[in-house]
Amino acid sequence: MKSQKILIVVLFLISFNAIGQNARFSQIWSAPIQFNPALTGRFDGRVRASVLSSWQNAIAQDSSVSKKTVYMNHQNVSIDIKLGKYRSSGDENPQNQMDNDNENVEAGKDKSGNKKKVTGYWGTGFNYYTYSHETSPITAKFYSLSLARHFYTKSNRLFGFGVQFTNANGVLDESKGKAFNKEITGGAFRYPYKYGNAAGDRSGSQTYTDVNIGAYYGRVTESVMFELGGAMHHLFYPKYDASDVEDDDNPSLRHRITAHSLLRVRFNDQWGLVQKNMFWKEGLYLRSRNTDDNLEITAFWAGLELYRTDPKGKINPNFGFYTRNFQTMMPYLNLTCGRIINIRYSYEHPINSIRFPAYSAKRNEVSLIVTAGRQTNPGTRFYKKLNFW
């Protein structure tokens, strides 16, 4: 137990090594399909629908603009479905499945004596993401389709991979305003804010198709569970300048790398502990290329969540605390209502925006997740679970 707690502290402190800024949600784990396509279908149940909304503001990067505060709203909507037969919802340790053989809770789960065991399942999903504001010069919309394959060939292991296809559309309209901050703008489209005070108002649009891939591996025992995963986005370097420019002048979007680690340990008889680290790196080339727009956005989320392991009723409040590069603080509330509804709220506030000017953003975020066919709430059978998304 002592070594497990030391491991949590080590993973938590790793985030000191990550610096920079990031242009996405605070609750990036509440949009798992956007983060890693391999997480499509990683949940307890048959169908999951979720909405994540974020209201953000930050100080304008260009000090010469008249509007000093920049606002941006982000919305992410997703739905993912498990296809065919699957064992124990892909969520609880299949080694314990024989304990539930007499419970007819789900077609397709393993039963003793079956000649053919279910050793995996497919997941498919749709994700819609948009960022916009009536005063923002740039807005964007992203439509994504994902397909993932999950395996549990071993009694206490789960791994999978996924692919995602995205259609993206960005619009530039400087007549709405020229205040800009890269930290809260969603990215994936180029707006060189240093030209924001150019004579006249620029306008234009850009559309591209994107391909993303990802994978993960997880293992669970009664005392500890861990998971590791990663993904690569923008595989084919799409053109992404939102203004009307010739292809020769339109730079290519660099790769994005995302990675995560998750550790669950037995804390005590009333509370279980989950520690998450999530890494996001924009602007990576596999080989040297010329570009006039160097994004280099890097972020590292680190946090702890406490779950009640003996919920007394259908309403189960759980708590957490996250930070981004130890330059913001983010309290987090995770409220589960029965087996269907999950509500999450977080507020991210910069610790010292004067010393760390890149971190001036303030974010209020709410997510609503509705799941059909779920067997347990997050606290029930806590130490048997493989999934904490």
Nearest partner of 335 among 366, 310, 363, judged by Cα: 366
* pLDDT at residue 12 is higher than 90: no
The pLDDT of 334-361, averaged and rounded, is: 85
Looking at residue 58, the DSSP 8-state letter turns out to be: E
pLDDT digits (tens, 9 = 90+) for 159-190: 999 999 999 999 989 888 887 888 888 777 87
* pLDDT at residue 114 is higher than 60: no
Q: Which of 57-61, 99-103, 142-146, 202-206 has the lowest mean pLDDT?
A: 99-103
Cα–Cα distance between 262 and 156 in angstroms, integer?
A: 16
At 99, is the pLDDT very low, low, confident or very high (cuts 50, 70, 90)?
A: very low
Looking at residue 206, its pLDDT comes to 87
Cα–Cα distance between 67 and 54 in angstroms, integer?
A: 21
Cα distances (angstroms) measured from residue 147 to each of 211, 217, 261: 12, 17, 22
Task: Return the percentage of the chain with pLDDT > 90, whole number.
Answer: 40
At 144, is the pLDDT very low, low, confident or very high (cuts 50, 70, 90)?
A: very high
- H helical segments located in 21-74: 32-35
pTM: 0.83
* pLDDT at residue 205 is higher than 60: yes
The phi and psi torsions of 318 (rounded to 5 degrees) equal -130, 160
Domains of the chain by start residue, with CATH: 2-384 (2.40.160.40)
pLDDT digits (tens, 9 = 90+) for 239-290: 887 776 666 666 778 888 999 999 998 888 888 899 999 998 876 554 434 4
DSSP letter for each residue of 327-351: SEEEEEEEEEETTTEEEEEEEEEES
CA dihedral (21, 210, 122, 51) positive or negative: positive
CB 303 within 8 A of CB 322: yes
* pLDDT at residue 113 is higher than 60: no
Query: Helix or strand or coil: residue 17?
Result: helix
Looking at residue 27, its pLDDT comes to 93
The encoded tokens of residue 34 equal 């956007």
